[in-house]
Amino acid sequence: MVVRRSQTKPSFDDAGPSTGDSYLDDFSDVLVIGIDFGTTYSGAAWATHADFQAGQINIINRWPGTGREEGKAPTELFFEDDKVFWGYEVPPDSDPVRWFKLLFLKDEDLAPELRASEFILRGRKMMRENDTTAVDLVADYLREFWKHVVREITKDRGHIVVDALRFHVVVTLPAIWKGYARRGMQDAVRKAGILDERDAGDTTLSFAPEPEAAALFTLCEPGRTVNEGDAYIICDAGGGTVDLITYKIQTTKPLAVCEAAEGTGGLCGGIFIDEAFERICKKRLGRGWDRLSKVGMREVMKGEWEYAIKPQFTVSNSNKEYTVAIPDEAFQNKDAQTDKSRLPYIKNGRIHFRECDLEKAFTQVFASIGELIDGQICLARKRGTSITGIILVGGLGSSPYLYNTLKARYSKHQITVLQSGGIVPRTAICRGAIHKGFLDSYEPIYQAKLADPPIRVVSTISRAHFGTSCSRTFEEGEHLEEDKVWSSDEEKYVADNQMEWYVGKGEDVSKSDPVRKSFYRTFRKDFSRKAIVEEVYQCTDKAAPTRITNKVSHVCDVQWSPDVSFKDLPWETNKSGIRYKILCFEMDFVPRGATVEIAIYCEGRRQNGKDSVMNIQYVR
């Protein structure tokens, strides 16, 4: 591909509707389904076009294996006799596979303590022994999860309605995930059957960074009051990862925000608190802990800790005790069920923990979260933005102890710490995924000012340098000899293997004014029967090279078919009498956090219809 650097940008207006209603009709048969696939718990939300217009987002809160209404189901798997048990259906006396979402990550991208975790080691061992992969495990879970979600939606709306709706699925991912992990999730979604053919039309898939999804919902949730110029850090504290993103309020009517600092995150979620608590129990019980059966351990870690103490624990400097009932099997005899020889005391088979005993389980994780927030504050300050508040979401985000810890830490800086109330912290991400799905679909409407969205992200900060490969006229001393290639069409030497960077790492990019570059390709034969492929690359280094090196990674291939007729293009003839045609086109780049959206135009027309995102095929 050759860049025509002097090519004049054609003058055109984006094709659009004359009225908002006529364009919105195109989305009346769309059902957006948001999936928050978490390390410890997973949830889903859904909405039709009419639901979203009415401000209604539906949550899946009924799950197999439990009679309670729950916003999420455990991300756990157990295999027995060719049957898959998942979520609440996992037998209490079983040894399920947990944390398999983290198996997507390479060892070098895991913290040392997580690398040595029992669940990670067991998961990797299972994969080796059964010749399976992380993609297989995630697909096994998502397959059952998806079947249940569709059944629940169908119960609510009926087969006839659901079968007539086109599905758009939005899956949320940790912002810190690298490209290979995102590609693994895409493979798992496909393998789970989520994108299988349906009579209503193709099911489309998109991804959203978890903190962005959380922000889309929390900043415009009912009761939330924001002012122009305010800047909020959204802290999504989940089971495995803690992700942060910072948005500044640009306007309030309609609500529009811009990213004020590059999102960050770390592996410091709730599972590390759970492991710390388990170590505390082991230290106090000694060999008694090893005597516990799987059911006994589950009673302690789930029933006593995760469902009871952990969600309501906080430090009040009081004499309050937290008692943890230990199953009888941990003790050799009845006399051993009472031990007052050292603190914390064991009385009648119960460990009487003081606040200071349990506080240790939270210390390291909360310190790591504080460091991440401090980093966001510094990044925002460098861009001239002062933080107004911190909004906590996610399972760990509902912890009163985390709230009080951060409140004490940041009150002296006049930064308010807020928590989303009720069930929202656990479902904010999948609710936000619905916003993401509809807002991206409606983007042409909002740009044409035909309707106002509940919230709109008007600009983001690029997480990397993004660009495409190209060829340029070869210049001695400027280009390497190894890149020198003869172009038989244009009869000149060109430098192949070159990079054309659209945006740089850390740059602000407005969605209403995407970065556009002009290109052309030469053809001797009709191109109408084959797709044209553009290769997209990224570089996360501070400075991007001018050519493809080992610092440049291949992100994806963009496949597109021109709606321009080959016969309508004028012929060019080179000095040797060889005839060829030139196809001119333009590419738009819009970075969105950790991802990038691409649109291609020929003669002023957006290619592949009105969709703003091209068919992106990720490569390994």
Name 169's bridge partners. 33, 205
Listing DSSP states for 585-610 in one string gives: EEEEEEEETTEEEEEEEETTEESSTT
Weakest mean pLDDT among 128-137, 149-158, 185-194, 304-313: 128-137
Question: How far apart, in whole angstroms, are the C-alpha atoms of residue 490 and residue 579?
Answer: 10
Q: Looking at 310, 328, 361, which one is the last position of a domain? A: 361
CB-facing half-sphere around the CA of 75: CA atoms within 13 A: 25
Q: Do 344 and 354 form a contact (C-beta atoms < 8 A)?
A: yes
Are residues 200 and 344 located together in one domain of the fold? no
**pLDDT of 620 over the 60 cut:** no
Residue 402 lies in a domain: no
Q: Residue 425: its pLDDT value, please?
A: 57
Q: Do residues 199 and 323 both lie within one domain?
A: no
Q: Is residue 369 part of a domain?
A: no
* 487, amino acid identity: S
The C-alpha atoms of residue 346 and residue 614 are separated, in whole angstroms, by: 62
Residues 51, 166 share a domain: yes
470 and 354 inside one domain? no
Tokens of 179: 């490209």
Least confident of 156-165, 304-313, 508-517: 508-517
Question: Same domain, yes or no, for 284 and 180?
Answer: no
pLDDT of residue 19: 43
Q: Are 204 and 285 contained in the same domain?
A: no
Nearest Cα neighbor of 586 from 518, 536, 532, 533 is 518
* Residues 44 and 189 grouped into a single domain: yes
Q: Does residue 5 lie within any of the structural domains?
A: no
pLDDT band of residue 363 (cuts 50, 70, 90) is very high
In a domain, 224, yes or no: no
How much is the pLDDT for 14? 32
Domain of residue 334, residue span = 270-361
**60 vs 430: CA distance, rounded Å:** 10
- How far apart, in whole angstroms, are the C-alpha atoms of residue 361 and residue 351? 15
Residue showing tokens 């009926």:
158
Look at residue 535 in the predicted model and tell me its pLDDT: 85
Residue-wise pLDDT for 525-547, tens only, equals 888 767 788 888 889 888 999 99
CB-count exposure of residue 48 (10 Å: 0-12, 13-18, 19+): buried
Counting every residue, how long is the chain? 620
Same domain, yes or no, for 24 and 151? yes
- Residue 75 pLDDT > 70: yes
Rounded Cα gap, residues 392 and 161, in angstroms: 37
Q: For residues 391 and 218, is the Cβ–Cβ distance under 8 A?
A: yes
Average pLDDT over residues 95-121: 83
State pLDDT tens for residues 124-177.
888 888 888 999 999 999 999 999 999 999 999 999 999 999 999 999 998 878
Give the chain's mean pLDDT. Answer: 86
* Residue written as token pair 């309050």: 320
Copy the structure tokens of residue 124: 């990797």
d(CA 302, CA 52): 36
Q: How many CB atoms lie within 10 A of CB 449?
A: 9
Helix (H) or strand (E) holding 406: helix 400-410
Per-residue pLDDT of 565-616, as tens digits, reads: 888 898 989 888 889 899 999 888 776 655 567 888 888 888 863 333 444 4
More confident residue, 12 or 378: 378
> How far apart, in whole angstroms, are the C-alpha atoms of residue 369 and residue 233?
12
What average pLDDT does this structure show over 336-346? 95
CA–CA dist 254, 118 (Å, integer): 49
Average pLDDT over residues 372-380: 96
Percent of residues, the chain, with pLDDT higher than 70: 89
Of the listed ranges 375-379, 381-385, 452-456, the least confidently predicted one is 452-456
Do residue 46 and residue 195 come from a single domain? yes
pLDDT of residue 451: 61
Exposure on the CB side of residue 208, measured as CA atoms within 13 A: 33
Which pLDDT band holds residue 6 (cuts at 50, 70, 90)?
very low
| 503 and 583 assigned to the same domain | yes
The region of weakest confidence among 2-11, 139-148, 324-333, 438-447 is 2-11
Q: What is the CATH number of the domain that holds 142?
A: 3.30.420.40
Q: Please say whether the beta carbons of 117 and 275 come within 8 A.
A: yes
Q: How confident is the model at residue 617 (pLDDT cuts 50, 70, 90)?
A: very low
CB atoms under 10 Å from CB of 477, counted, come to 4
Dmax (CA) of the chain: 101
Which helix (H) or strand (E) element contains residue 77? strand 76-80
Please list, in sequence order, all residues whose beta carbon lies within 8 angstroms of the beta carbon of residue 208, skipping any fewer than 6 positions away. Answer: 170, 171, 172, 173, 432, 433, 436
Whether the Cβ atoms of residue 376 and residue 264 lie closer than 8 Å to each other: yes
CA-CA distance, 218 to 207, in Å (whole number)? 19
Q: What's the rounded Cα separation, in Å, for the pair 605 and 14?
A: 7
Cα–Cα distance between 474 and 491 in angstroms, integer? 12
355 lies in some domain? yes
Question: 28-32, 171-175, 348-352, 549-553: which has the highest mean pLDDT?
Answer: 348-352
Specify the residue for token string 């966001």: 376
Give the β-pairing of 456-461 and 255-266: parallel
**Could you tell me which of 202, 140, 164, 194 has the C-alpha nearest to residue 49?**
164
- Answer yes or no: are the C-beta atoms of 59 and 43 closer than 8 Å: yes
Q: Has residue 8 got a pLDDT over 60?
A: no
Of 160, 187, 210, which residue constitutes the final position of a domain? 210
Tokens representing residue 91 in the block: 């037998």
Give the residue from 361, 379, 398 where a domain finishes. 361
- 399's CB contacts (< 8 A; 6+ apart) are 237, 310, 311, 313, 314
CA-closest candidate to residue 494, choices 509, 513, 475, 478: 475
What is the pLDDT, as a whole number, of residue 95? 86
Q: Around Cβ 297, how many Cβ atoms within 10 Å?
A: 16
CA 592 to chain centroid, in Å, comes to 11
> What are 102-112's pLDDT values in tens digits?
899 888 888 77
Q: Which residue has the higher pLDDT, 454 or 421?
A: 454
pLDDT above 50 for 33: yes
The per-residue pLDDT for range 478-500, each reduced to its tens digit, is 999 999 999 888 889 999 999 98
Tell me what pLDDT residue 417 has. Answer: 95
Confidence of residue 447 (pLDDT cuts 50, 70, 90): low
Contact between residue 292 and residue 327 where contact means Cβ atoms under 8 Å apart:
yes
User: Is the distance from CB of 311 to CB of 302 less than 8 angstroms?
Assistant: no
Domain membership of residue 419 (yes or no) is no
| Confidence check: pLDDT of 419 > 50 | yes
Beta bridge partners of 44: 35
Sign of CA dihedral 260, 264, 270, 276: negative
> What is the bridge-based pairing of β-strands 595-602 and 58-59?
unpaired
In a domain, 78, yes or no: yes
Confidence check: pLDDT of 465 > 50: yes
The answer to the question of residue 135 being in a domain is yes
The total domain count for the chain is 3
Same domain? For 78 and 206 the reply is: yes
Q: Are residues 574 and 477 in the same domain?
A: yes
